[in-house]
């Protein structure tokens, strides 16, 4: 079946963003330019721009044009960063301890999150991230085999899952939830907690343009880890500030 013209335009625009031809906050082609390039009506071009805007991939400035949005989570104020980069930026040493990397039957709750069927194969990794040889985070991650078929072949002592997934399935969307939890014995053991203490658990689901890529549970001791972010409320070409 032939691909609809507006979908073809979306595919083209997404590819331009992914290869870096249109970086964050750069202006993209206008309705008129797209209509002429693809020999379609302005209405068809407008639909492609509108859907990408609704998905948070573009943003529009009235009277100016459409621009590439920052590739950040729509539901979080936090930038999605690689934990190895975070640790290295502090001048500390990052290392990892791989506990498990396997294929297993997909649990029901994970299946729904990744668009898989219950008991269908899913990839699973369990990793302890360390800062100066002290455990900082326990990462349990489920990954879609149909989108990342070589996940279980990787050496995650040499690179983090975040690094690999960002390269193989570039991030277009993410969901975050953060909660305080009381760790179980397994978590206490691998985070080397002398006694149970409140921990932060970040649940993160990431998407590429093909669909849901992974669901990760990132658990850190409250005494060793904190979450933060910076908000910039300035608007493109705005002459006013708050």
DSSP line for 55-112: TTSEEEETTTEEEEPP---TT-SS----HHHHHHHTT--EEEEEEEEEEEEPPHHHHH
What pLDDT score was predicted for residue 85?
86
Q: Which residues contact 63 (CB under 8 A, 6 or more apart)?
A: none
Strands 173-181 and 134-143: unpaired
Quick check: do 5-68 and 83-221 share a fold? no
User: What is the reported pTM?
Assistant: 0.66
What pLDDT score was predicted for residue 77?
39
What pLDDT score was predicted for residue 152?
96
The helix-helix angle for 42-54 and 5-18 (nearest 10°) equals 50
Is 83-221 in CATH node 3.40.1410.10?
A: yes
Q: Where are the domains of the chain?
A: 5-68, 83-221
What pLDDT score was predicted for residue 89?
76
Which phi and psi angles does 36 have, rounded to 5°?
A: -70, -40
User: Which of 3.60.10.10, 1.10.10.10, 3.40.50.300, 3.40.50.1220 would CATH assign to domain 5-68?
Assistant: 1.10.10.10
* Ordered per-residue pLDDT tens for the chain, 242 residues: 456 889 899 989 988 887 878 888 889 999 999 999 999 999 999 999 998 888 778 888 877 889 887 654 333 334 677 889 888 877 889 999 999 999 999 998 899 999 999 999 999 999 999 999 999 999 999 999 999 999 999 999 889 999 999 888 888 888 888 899 999 999 999 999 988 889 999 999 999 888 899 999 999 998 877 665 544 444 444 333 22
Strand ranges inside the chain, DSSP E: 58-61, 65-68, 94-105, 121-131, 134-143, 173-181, 199-208, 211-221
């Amino acid at each position: 079946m032939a691909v609809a013209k507006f979908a073809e335009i979306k595919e083209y625009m997404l590819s331009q963003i992914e290869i870096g031809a249109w970086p964050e906050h750069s202006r993209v082609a206008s309705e008129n330019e797209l209509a002429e390039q693809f020999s379609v009506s302005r209405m068809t071009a407008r639909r492609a721009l509108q859907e990408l805007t609704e998905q948070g991939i573009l943003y529009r400035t009235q009277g100016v044009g459409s621009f590439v949005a920052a590739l950040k989570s729509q539901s979080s104020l936090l930038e999605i960063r690689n934990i190895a980069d975070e640790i290295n930026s502090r001048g500390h040493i990052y290392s990892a301890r791989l506990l498990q990397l396997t294929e297993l039957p997909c649990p029901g709750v994970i299946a729904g999150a990744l668009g898989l069927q219950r008991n269908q194969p899913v990839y699973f990794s369990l990793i302890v991230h360390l800062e100066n040889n002290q455990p900082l985070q326990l990462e349990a991650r489920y990954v879609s085999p149909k989108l990342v078929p070589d996940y279980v072949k990787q050496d995650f002592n040499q690179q983090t899952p975040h690094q690999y997934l960002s390269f193989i399935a570039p991030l277009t969307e993410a969901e975050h939830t953060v909660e305080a939890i009381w760790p179980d014995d397994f978590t206490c053991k691998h985070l080397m907690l002398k006694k149970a203490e409140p921990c932060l658990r970040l649940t993160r689901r990431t998407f590429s343009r093909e669909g849901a890529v992974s669901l990760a549970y990132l658990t850190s001791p409250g005494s060793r880890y904190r979450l933060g972010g910076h908000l910039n409320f300035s608007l493109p070409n705005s002459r006013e500030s708050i």
